[in-house]
Amino acid sequence: MIIAIMLPMLGSWAYQNCPDDYTYQRSDGRQAVISLRDGDSTAVIEYRVDGELLSEWEIRHKVFRFCCGDITGDGIPEIAVGVIKPTRYSPDERKRLWLLKLYEEELIRPLWLSSRLSHRLEDFSIEPDGTILSSEVEEDGTPVKVRYRYRGFGLKYIDRSRTGFRSKSSLK
């Protein structure tokens, strides 16, 4: 479970439970661990089942956030990774959100690799219901919290708030 706590005086979130190791029990009863090994210039996400390495995904960019949760609603956790990188149409090094999936619960594969969200991304978290909460900055510098849900290809905008959200699960 990923928990984000709103700190109203600071206008930012303090993220808890975004560990470098995410453990869950697969539908076949086996224990699976998704972990992040972060280096200076690359990071590697590993997927192990009962201790056996099944898949790795190398990221050749700086990682600022790593979270797991069931974003698609299929009962299998997805991997949300915040990377800092330029893109073809946005050459500045900025924070981007990448979503990875466990293909057939065996292989780490891309689900959606964003070039940007509604505004400049600062941070994100995943609600237990799979909603992605992001902390973003509007063009005029105003901080805003935005909620998204994964739909097919990409994220669907749900709503936003300049003061933060109150939800039953993770924001206080």
pLDDT tens-digit map of 104-159: 999 999 999 988 898 999 999 999 999 999 999 999 999 999 999 999 888 999 99
Cβ-based neighbour number of residue 71 at 10 Å: 26
CA angle 92, 121, 159 (to 5 degrees): 140
CB–CB of 102/56 below 8 Å? no
Of 7-16, 35-44, 101-110, 124-133, the least confident: 7-16
pLDDT at 24 > cutoff 60:
yes
pLDDT at 11: 37
Q: 5 pLDDT band (50/70/90 cuts)? A: very low
